[in-house]
Amino acid sequence: MDPRPNQEETITLDTFTRGLWKENPVFVMLLGLCPVLAVTNTTMNAIAMGLATLFVLVASSTLVSLLRKLIPKQVRIASFIIIIATFVTMVDYLIQSISLDLYNALGAFIQLIVVNCVILGRAEAYASKQKVSTAIINALGMGVGFTIALLCLGVTRELLGAGTILGFQMFSVDFEPWIVMILPPGGFFVLGAWLLLFEYIKQRKEKTHLNVEGVASHGS
Amino acid sequence: MDPDSLTFIFINAALSNNFVLALFLGLCPFLGVSAKKETAWNMGLATMFVMLVSSISAFGINWLLNEFDIQFLRLICYIAVIASAVQLVEMVVKKFSPTLFRALGIFLPLITTNCAILGLALFQTFREYNFLQSLAFSLGAGVGFTIALMLMAGLREKLELAKVPTVSQGATMSLMLAGLLSLAFMGFAGLGSGHA
């Protein structure tokens, strides 16, 4: 996954941006799909979930990276999980104190951040091998990439399913909402559609690339 | 039907609020291990077993936590118990069927991070089920998970023979299939109306 997994890497712009696009946890690596599909029926839920995950990801990556020389290899997964669970408990109580409505809307999915594979994956594959500063920046990139993906789905589903964005009416009153989009099947369809779009862009890019190369070799 | 009866809880967890297709729990194994029917079946059984064990332990732990009034430790305790249950299953499978152990590969230890299991433990706590109800709930969830996994595996085996445009091969196609399955499962909604 990472170019030099066992070596400490120097901070470059790529450390941050790779999480946004090239290794986007949702669209490219297909990790952490459960919250992506479950809580993106409105934009607000998607943003809240994205930020909560971002916080847990950055905080746990920092702590894992700080403790990387102290944690014995045999019990590392268990230790990571305990660290993550601690931060998730914090976020859980935090959201509960900020907005009870939001807390009820997200339900058990806040506590289920513990088992989000993106976070454990980052801890295991990256933070446990890198310096604190690098780990934080990488975790930030991944978290932002995750939030962007949630936002993509949340906006699409709310717009089509209810005709609103963040509760504001977007279409005229005679718009017939596609109820299916805010129901469970809509989550699968919208994520499938986004993946289709990205795959199409990728294949087109490769095709034009090939064409350009073909012309060049023909010319010579 | 009485929403607290055991049959209702079982059917609700297995069909009308199917863990995978309606609640989006446990999607990683659902998309990852559903290529062949045989592995899907074994994965379903392993998950069901872990669900049963962790549901029973979660019930005991919750009682203990309430007794000492330290509910904020719930999440950490649950995840620790689930991790140990998975370890147990791993040892049993390795001992009795090394072939199965190899076939399941990385997905066996990953049951720990299967949200369906932690989700099950959390839901049964939120809904304050008693012991028998928890048992019915976890059995229903396990059966539902296996059904979804088997259906998906069957469809994907057929799909191998079909001509799919190159753009939509792989994950896209699986997600669209899952969407259609989920749509079909919404037909069960009438069976379990009431609480989600």
Residue A131 confidence (pLDDT) above 80: yes
Neighboring chain A residues of B106 at a CB cutoff of 8 Å: none
Mean pLDDT of B126-130: 88
Tally of domains in chain A: 1
Give the per-residue SS3 of chain B: CCCCCHHHHHHHHHHHCCCCCCCCCCHHHHHHCCCCHHHHHHHHHHHHHHHHHHHHHHHHHHHHHHHHCCHHHHHHHHHHHHHHHHHHHHHHHHHHCHHHHHHHHHHCHHHHHCHHHHHHHHHHHHCCCCHHHHHHHHHHHHHHHHHHHHHHHHHHHHHCCCCCCHHHCCHHHHHHHHHHHHHHHHHHHHHHCCCC
Which residue in chain B has the smallest CA separation from A117? B113
**Does the residue B2 lie in any domain?**
no
Q: CA–CA separation, A2 vs A138, rounded Å?
A: 11
Higher pLDDT: A219 or A165? It is A165
CA A25-A31-A35 angle, to 5 degrees, is 100
Residue A1 confidence (pLDDT) above 70: no
Neighboring chain A residues of B86 at a CB cutoff of 8 Å: none
**Does the residue A166 lie in any domain?**
yes
Mean pLDDT of A110-118: 87
**Does the residue A145 lie in any domain?**
yes
- Token readout for A129 is 């091998």
- Token readout for A138 is 């990488």
Mean pLDDT, rounded, of chain A: 85
Q: CA–CA separation, A138 vs A57, rounded Å?
A: 10
Q: What percent of chain A has pLDDT over 70?
A: 93
Report pLDDT digits (tens) over B70-113.
888 888 888 888 888 888 888 888 888 888 788 777 677 777 77
**Mutation for testing the A interface, residue in B18, B31, B75 having most A CBs under 10 Å:** B75
- How many Cβ contacts (< 8 angstroms) between chains A and B? 109
Higher pLDDT: A170 or A214? It is A170
**Does the residue B1 lie in any domain?**
no
Mean pLDDT of A160-169: 84
**Does the residue A165 lie in any domain?**
yes
Q: CA–CA separation, A114 vs B94, rounded Å?
A: 27
Q: Where residue A88 falls among pLDDT bands split at 50, 70, 90?
A: very high
pLDDT, position A215: 64
**Does the residue A220 lie in any domain?**
no
**Mutation for testing the B interface, residue in A188, A197, A201 having most B CBs under 10 Å:** A188
Residue B136 confidence (pLDDT) above 70: yes
Q: Where are the alpha helices (DSSP H) in A3-75?
A: 13-17, 33-38, 43-66
Report pLDDT digits (tens) over A5-29.
556 777 777 888 887 878 888 888 8
**Does the residue B39 lie in any domain?**
yes
Global pTM value = 0.85
Q: Which of A193-202, B29-38, B168-177 has the highest mean pLDDT?
A: A193-202
Mean pLDDT of B120-145: 91
pLDDT, position A52: 93
**Does the residue A178 lie in any domain?**
yes
**Does the residue A30 lie in any domain?**
yes
Residue A220 confidence (pLDDT) above 60: no
pLDDT, position B193: 52
Neighboring chain A residues of B112 at a CB cutoff of 8 Å: 77, 81, 115
**Mutation for testing the B interface, residue in A26, A27, A34, A40 having most B CBs under 10 Å:** A34
In angstroms, the Cα distances linking A173 to A115, A157, A163, A169 are 41, 18, 9, 8
**Does the residue B97 lie in any domain?**
yes
Q: Look at B168 and A33 and tell me if their CB atoms are within 8 Å.
A: no
Element (H, E) at A210: helix A184-219
Q: Give the least confident one: A81-95, A106-120, A153-167, B102-116.
A: B102-116
Q: How far is A115 from chain B (nearest CA, A)?
A: 5
pLDDT, position B91: 84
Mean pLDDT, rounded, of chain B: 85
**Does the residue B192 lie in any domain?**
no
Q: Look at A187 and B24 and tell me if their CB atoms are within 8 Å.
A: yes
Range of the domain at A86: 15-194
pLDDT, position A4: 45
**Does the residue A172 lie in any domain?**
yes
Range of the domain at B21: 7-187
Q: Look at A184 and B26 and tell me if their CB atoms are within 8 Å.
A: no
Neighboring chain A residues of B171 at a CB cutoff of 8 Å: 30, 195
pLDDT, position A3: 46
Cross-chain CB nearest to A196 (options B72, B167, B179): B167
pLDDT, position A214: 66
Tally of domains in chain B: 1
**Does the residue B196 lie in any domain?**
no
Q: Which of A161-170, B55-64, B169-178 has the highest mean pLDDT?
A: B55-64
pLDDT, position A14: 81
